[in-house]
């Protein structure tokens, strides 16, 4: 039998290279959290807030007796930290006969599936924590993201965050696949070139200056995720990009290990993750309630 250079028996270094390449592709193409948050992969489990209080300038008339006078303000630093308290982990056992008979195919399949499962878990963790920390709030018109409502919703959401300096980072909206039909119908019925693009290419991922990301049903949940209990079923999230941070010290780790009493070996994918929407900007992320 020909030996594939990437089979599960002979070439650990090649498998490690494939794992990292595969996961980098997942990060670029799948992980929403990478596109809307700052990411810290340093070996730091506690990150201090990068923001301080916002000063306010005074405009006053120039009059005799008060030229150049002022009242000193108090500069404060919000004591806000990101502490990594959760880990993600996924392990499977590949038996010897599976490795021998399937060669690279089984390993490539498991590596890809591990990476996508980890990406989904990270997105679910980050997006639900983002919603829990958001202090902006908005309830949609009746019908949620229906074709009749989408333009009104996008305009109302934008009005909540425009005019602030961080808005230059750009806006994001995260919806689930069940919300897509309303957007597509509305986009295809819009005027001229936008409608033509929608009719040719399908769902447009940017509208009204907002980047729209779609995640699978069941991403926003009422559940306990790691150390955090969230109540986000029926909710979506909108806000300004890059004002929240998620930490993944050392990135994603991989192990292969022999197991006593079983042929083959175990493959394990794991890492640590933490999240923080920084205190001065919590109002710039909006918790959307579907009505």
The ranges assigned to domains in the chain are 12-49+78-289
- pTM confidence score: 0.79
CATH architecture of residue range(s) 12-49+78-289:
Alpha-Beta Complex (3.90)
Taking only the tens of pLDDT, the chain with its 291 residues reads 444 444 444 466 666 677 677 766 666 667 898 899 988 888 777 777 766 666 777 777 776 666 677 777 777 666 678 888 888 888 888 777 766 665 556 667 777 788 888 888 889 999 999 999 999 999 999 999 999 999 999 999 999 999 887 778 899 999 999 999 999 998 888 877 778 788 877 788 888 889 999 999 999 999 999 899 999 999 999 999 999 998 888 777 888 788 778 887 788 888 889 999 998 889 999 999 999
Q: How much is the pLDDT for 2?
A: 42
| b/e 63-96 (16+ beta carbons within 10 angstroms → b) | eeeeeeeeeeeeeeeeebebebebebeeeeebee
Distance between CA atoms of residues 121 and 47, nearest Å: 22
Residue position matching structure tokens 């990060």: 27
Q: For residue 173, which of 241, 234, 233, 119 has the smallest C-alpha distance?
A: 241
Count CB neighbours of 222 within 10 A: 12
Which residue in this structure is represented by tokens 């069941």?
218
* pLDDT value, residue 112: 79
The pLDDT value recorded for residue 4 is 44
């Amino acid at each position: 039998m020909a030996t594939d250079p990437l089979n599960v028996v002979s070439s650990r270094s090649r498998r490690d290279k494939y794992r990292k390449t595969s996961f980098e592709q997942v990060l670029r193409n799948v992980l929403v959290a990478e596109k809307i948050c700052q990411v810290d992969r340093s070996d730091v489990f506690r990150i201090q807030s990068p923001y301080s209080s916002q000063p306010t300038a005074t405009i006053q008339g120039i009059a005799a007796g008060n030229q150049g006078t002022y009242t000193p303000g108090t500069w404060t630093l919000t004591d806000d930290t990101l502490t990594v308290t959760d880990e993600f982990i996924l392990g499977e056992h590949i038996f010897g006969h599976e490795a021998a008979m399937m060669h690279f195919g089984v390993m490539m399949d498991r590596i890809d599936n591990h990476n996508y499962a980890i990406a989904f878990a990270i997105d679910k963790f980050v997006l639900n924590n983002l919603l829990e920390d958001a202090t902006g709030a908005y309830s949609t018109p009746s019908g949620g993201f229906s074709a009749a409502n989408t333009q009104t919703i996008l305009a109302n959401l934008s009005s909540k965050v425009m005019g602030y300096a961080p808005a230059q980072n750009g806006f994001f909206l995260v919806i689930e696949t069940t919300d897509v039909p309303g957007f597509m119908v509305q986009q295809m019925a819009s005027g001229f070139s936008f409608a033509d693009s929608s009719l040719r290419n399908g769902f447009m991922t940017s509208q009204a200056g907002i980047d729209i990301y779609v995640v699978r049903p069941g991403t926003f949940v009422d559940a306990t995720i790691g150390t955090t209990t969230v109540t986000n079923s029926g909710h979506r999230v909108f806000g300004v990009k890059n004002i929240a941070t998620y930490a993944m010290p050392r990135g994603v780790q991989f192990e292969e290990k022999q197991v006593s009493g079983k042929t083959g070996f175990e493959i394990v994918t794991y890492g640590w993750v933490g999240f923080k929407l920084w205190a001065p900007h919590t109002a710039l992320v909006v918790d959307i309630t579907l009505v």
